[in-house]
């Protein structure tokens, strides 16, 4: 997450940058998160040309849906109507005590001031969310997240947990509706992809390393006959799991360069206007960084970063690094990944495959095996 590069975690009383999104640390003291949160929220940053490109496609009626791991909701701010947030969004929040929901504008003053937003619901009233069972997600719709390495707690003297409370009000902490480390991860991506499977006639992958499940599985999951287009600074590889064929998923077209530059050129070409971006060039010969991607399918823009695409001296299994967690024990899988070939995102580790595979789909589904390297 790029935010870690600008985070002075020691100043916030954290033991490492990742603690900013750790639910145990948040429950212990939410002040560090909200001291930094103003830099995460919409309004602080604005949609980029890439966000505006997606909104333009949507306006033309040719964009089915956007799936994103981002939490800043800039897609919606740009005007994209159908967005699926794999890890939630900062556009809304929920009281951790009474479950009352709030919009980002409701807590904007607290966020901008670096204060912990507290629920203002009178204690003699019940929120609509807690009184309506239809709004609750069932346990079967949730996936238990990975367990994080136990870290040292910061000293209570470093940051006070005391907050001004108002008599007669709930005063529960209002937490943004994003998935923290240690929280259950919703299955929104899988459910929506199953609905979009037959509707999608092309896939655009933009600005990603495709190294984290479940989004890393989308490329292979969709129908094999639809074009897959990569817009990225370098080539990324995805191992096939749902198909019986070995090898990687190759893209039909790779437009390599800064995403904003590429989509600007695409928009101008689609509108028939003069292109202001330097003309991209073809790859004239096979290069190691192509990683089996046909050279005629690649266009290079000036901002392409082919040097980091491939570590040529390392074996192929090290070049491909995938972060996957077991759906049974919830631990990050090191070594063999057993992936269900029928489900979008169901993976087992060695131990759970032996003991749990027959419980999944009554033992009717088959599993593909992939060897991966651990990534810290």
Which of these is catalytic: 38, 51, 87, 325? 87
Contact of 110 with 117, CB cutoff 8 Å = yes
From first CA to last CA, the distance across the chain in angstroms is: 14
CA nearest 320: which of 337, 303, 304? 337
Rounded Cα gap, residues 32 and 115, in angstroms: 9
Please give the DSSP secondary-structure letter assigned to residue 206.
E
Rounded Cα gap, residues 152 and 329, in angstroms: 23
Rounded Cα gap, residues 149 and 22, in angstroms: 11
Residue 163 C-alpha from the chain's centroid: 32
Strand partners, 173: 118
Tokens representing 145?
């997240």
Contact of 132 with 153, CB cutoff 8 Å = no
Rounded Cα gap, residues 218 and 296, in angstroms: 24
Q: Kindly list the distances between the CA atom of residue 191 and the CA atoms of 46, 188, 211, in Å, as whole numbers in the listed order.
A: 30, 5, 21
Residue 87: active-site member: yes
State the virtual CA torsion across 103, 107, 108, 114 in degrees, nearest 10.
-140
User: What strand order describes the sheet that includes 174-178?
Assistant: 101-103, 88-95, 174-178
Rounded Cα gap, residues 189 and 167, in angstroms: 41
- The residue to which tokens 């709930």 are assigned: 170
The SS3 call for residue 173 is strand
Q: Which residues are identified as catalytic?
A: 87
């Amino acid at each position: 997450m790029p935010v870690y590069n600008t985070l002075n975690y020691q100043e916030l009383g954290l033991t490492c940058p990742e603690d900013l999104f750790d639910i145990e640390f948040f429950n212990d003291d939410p002040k560090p998160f909200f001291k930094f949160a103003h830099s995460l929220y919409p309004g602080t940053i604005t949609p980029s040309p890439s966000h505006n490109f997606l909104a333009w496609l949507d306006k033309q009626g040719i964009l089915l849906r956007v799936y994103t791991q981002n939490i800043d909701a800039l897609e919606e701010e740009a005007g994209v109507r159908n967005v699926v947030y794999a890890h939630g969004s900062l556009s809304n929040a929920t009281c951790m005590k009474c479950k009352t929901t709030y919009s980002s504008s409701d807590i904007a003053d607290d966020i901008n001031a670096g204060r912990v937003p507290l629920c203002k619901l009178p204690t003699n009233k019940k929120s609509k969310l807690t009184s309506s069972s239809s709004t609750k997600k069932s346990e079967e719709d949730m996936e238990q997240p990975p367990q994080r390495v136990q870290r040292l707690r910061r000293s209570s003297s470093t940051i006070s947990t005391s907050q001004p409370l108002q008599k007669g009000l709930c005063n529960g902490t209002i937490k943004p509706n994003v998935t923290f480390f240690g929280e259950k991860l919703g299955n929104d991506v899988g459910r929506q992809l199953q609905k979009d499977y037959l509707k999608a006639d092309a896939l655009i992958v933009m600005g990603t390393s495709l190294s984290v499940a479940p989004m890393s599985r989308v490329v292979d999951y969709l129908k094999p006959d639809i074009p897959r287009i990569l817009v990225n600074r370098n080539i990324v590889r995805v191992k096939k799991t749902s198909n019986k064929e070995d090898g990687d998923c190759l893209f039909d077209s790779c437009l390599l360069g800064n995403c904003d530059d590429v989509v600007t050129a695409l928009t101008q070409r689609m509108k028939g206007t003069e292109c202001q971006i330097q003309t991209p060039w073809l790859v004239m010969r096979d290069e190691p960084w192509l990683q089996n991607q046909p050279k005629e399918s690649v266009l290079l823009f000036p901002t392409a970063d082919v040097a980091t695409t491939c570590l040529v001296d390392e074996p192929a299994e090290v070049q491909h690094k995938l972060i996957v967690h077991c759906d049974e024990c919830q631990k990050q899988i090191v070594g063999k990944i057993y992936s269900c070939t029928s489900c979008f995102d169901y993976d087992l580790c060695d131990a759970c495959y032996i003991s749990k595979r027959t419980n999944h789909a009554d033992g009717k589904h088959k599993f593909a095996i992939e060897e991966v390297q651990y990534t810290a």
